Amino acid sequence: MDKIKVGVIGGAGYTGGELIRILINHPKVELIFVNSNSQAGKPVYTVHADLFGDTDLIFTDQLSQAIDVLFLCVGHGAAKKFLDNNKIDTSIKIIDLSQDFRLAENAGAFVYGLPELQKDRIQNAQHIANPGCFATAIQLALLPLAAKGLLKNEIHINATTGSTGAGQGLSPTSHFSWRNNNLSIYKAFEHQHLHEIGESLLKLQPDFKDNINFLPQRGNFTRGILASAYISSELQLVDAYEIYNTYYQPHAFTHVSENNIDLKQVVNTNKALIHLEKHGDKLLIISIIDNLLKGASGQAVQNMNLLFGLDETLGLRLKGTAF
């Protein structure tokens, strides 16, 4: 097939930068434009210094419709406003990385884009709502249990994200002098990603009615999410591994490890790793992803590959940092 012509709206942030990095190296993509009102006229590498020597693209404040797919990397609330204010040709596929269309009540024509949940629907969609980063890590920890109807009581989750999860703009809690050598909980029990997690679990286990208790943490590292969830369960560990391995066998990026896992295994990759442990009557599930890749831009490109009938791993076989 000819190369997929791509446009990016909101290319100056962290997710925009990671998306550009993937797209300019994707063998089936021609990146037509990167839109940024704040950076228009400047080379992309002046904002994303890691791309110096890789691309001569210039940020633009214009919108071209001579494309096949449009990525929206704008802030929450801005994606809906952008689509309300700009008439996009109906032939153009849209992948939104904000939270504007993730929930059923707001989705309209958008399909929730978690491949491990509903790959078939994604492949036949026109518009995709890319999942949130915490939501991705936590859903991957729980989907196999929900698919078997094994979520029988409340779920307890603790998850820590890197500073890039807060975006590129500075705030009191994202400044280096605050983050460094520091750790804090925020939005305890009420993080916005709980809603999309709950909707996905109900798709697989409609009778699930218990609480999802979620404690999000800000970590003093740059990128990655480590989520740990536990439930009371009568499952033996060997049976739990059988359930998880069977569920994720068709999915190229999610892997189940019998060895303990750590963030450096997934940073800079589109992989998710899962590890299980049994402690008394508690089943512990540990899930790790890179919040900017599998939790955002990498998953968005994975969804693009699925939309256009490509191998979903194309352009996403990325090497982890390891050290």
> Active-site residue numbers?
133
- Which one-letter amino acid corresponds to residue 253? F
The DSSP-derived string for 274-320 is: EEEEEETTEEEEEEEE-TTTTTTHHHHHHHHHHHTT--TTTT--PPP
91-104 burial code (b ≥16 CB/10 A, e <16)? ebbbbbbbbbbbbe
H or E element at residue 139: helix 133-147
Q: In what order do the strands lie in the sheet with 110-112?
A: 59-60, 29-35, 4-9, 69-72, 93-96, 127-129, 110-112
Residue type (1 letter), 105? E
Helix (H, G, I), strand (E, B) or coil at 161: strand
Distance CA(299)–CA(291), nearest Å, equals: 10
- Which one, of 69, 68, 80, 20, lies nearest residue 44 by Cα? 20
Token pair, residue 323, equals: 């050290």
**How far is residue 134 CA from its own chain's centroid?**
8
Q: Which of 57, 60, 46 lies closest to 20 in space, CA to CA?
A: 57
d(CA 213, CA 136): 16
Q: How far apart are CA 277 and CA 2, in angstroms?
A: 47
Cβ count within 10 A of residue 111: 19
